[in-house]
Amino acid sequence: MLLPLKNIAGDQVGEIELSDAIFAAPVSKPLMHQALMRQLSNARLGTHSTKTRGEVAGGGRKPFRQKGTGRARQGSIRAPQWVGGGTAFGPTPRKYIKQLPKKMNAAAIRSALSVKAAADQIVVVDTLPFETPKTKAMVQALSALGVTGDSVLMVLAEKSVGVLRSASNLPNVKTILSGYLNIRDLLGYDKVLLSKDALEYVELWLMPSNVATEDTIEDSEEIEEIEALGDADDAPEETEG
C-alpha cells in the first residue's frame, strides 16, 4: 500500500509504502473489542469503598424495645434501611486487572491500523520540525495536511517538547510516542498522523514475525549452553576419601 509522504506545508515530497502485514491485515472486531475492554478495565483504580452496618460508627444498642411500641422491630440504627446506616452489598476495593497475550494485543493494533488505512485515515509526514512551541503553527500544519475538523492522534518516534507543547492546547489532538500506540487511542480518534520515523518503529514492532519470536530462544549456541548447565547441575558431587 502506497501513501503520499507529505511535509508540514501539505506538499507531497514522495511516496512511502506501508507494510501489508500491518496495514492490510485481517480485521478481527472481537479481538479489537477484547483488547479495548482490557485496556479500559486496567485503567480503573478500583478504590471504591462503602461501609457495611458493622463498619459504621454507632448503633451499638437497640433503639427501642422489641414489643409494645407498634413499630417494626429494629436492632440497630446503623442497619441499611436507616438513614446514616451501612450499605448492603456495596462495592469494596478490588483490582480490575486483565491479562492479554502480547501476540493478541499486537494483532488487535494491526486490525485497528488496517481499518484506518482502508478508510484513508492515515497521514504520514517526513518530519515535524517544531523547535519552539507554537500552537498557531501547529494549527496551520494540521490544516495544510487536511486533518482539521477531525480528532487527530499524532504518533512520534521520540519525545519532542516543541511538538508536545504546540499540540497540548488543541482539544482534539493527542500526541503519543510510537511505543505507546494502543487500541483505545486508535479507535478513539478520527485520523492518525505518523512521522516517518514513527512509522518505521511501528512496523518493526508490530511485524508478526518479530512478535512471534519474542521471548523465545532461537540461537542454537544458547540452547547448548542451557543444556550444558542442566547436565552440570544433575551431575553428582565428588567426595574426597
Q: For the chain, what are the domain ranges?
A: 2-44+97-212
Query: Is the model's pLDDT at 201 over the cut of 50?
Result: yes
What pLDDT, on a 0 to 100 scale, did the predictor assign at position 215? 47
- What's the pTM value of the predicted model, to 2 decimals? 0.77
Side by side, which strands form the sheet with 2-6? 12-17, 2-6, 122-125, 191-195, 152-156, 173-177
At 241 the pLDDT is 43
Query: In CATH, which of 3.40.50.150, 3.40.1370.10, 3.40.50.2300, 3.30.465.10 is domain 2-44+97-212?
Result: 3.40.1370.10
- What is the reported pLDDT for 222? 52
- How high is the pLDDT of residue 69? 94
Tell me how far CA of residue 123 lies from CA of 28, 41, 96, 176, in angstroms.
23, 30, 35, 15
145 pLDDT above the threshold of 50? yes
What was the pLDDT predicted at 89?
95
What integer is the mean pLDDT of 106-123? Answer: 94
Q: Quick one: average pLDDT of 62-79? A: 94
pLDDT at 212 over 70: no
Phi, psi of 88 (to 5 degrees): -90, 130
What is the C-alpha to C-alpha distance for residues 196 and 174, in angstroms, rounded to an integer?
18
| 169-173, 196-200, 233-237: range with lowest mean pLDDT | 233-237
Grid cell for residue 2: 502506497
Instruction: Assess contact for 163 and 197: CB atoms under 8 A.
Output: no
Distance CA 80, CA 143 (A): 58
pLDDT of residue 238: 53
Structural contact between residues 116 and 122, judged by C-beta atoms closer than 8 angstroms: yes
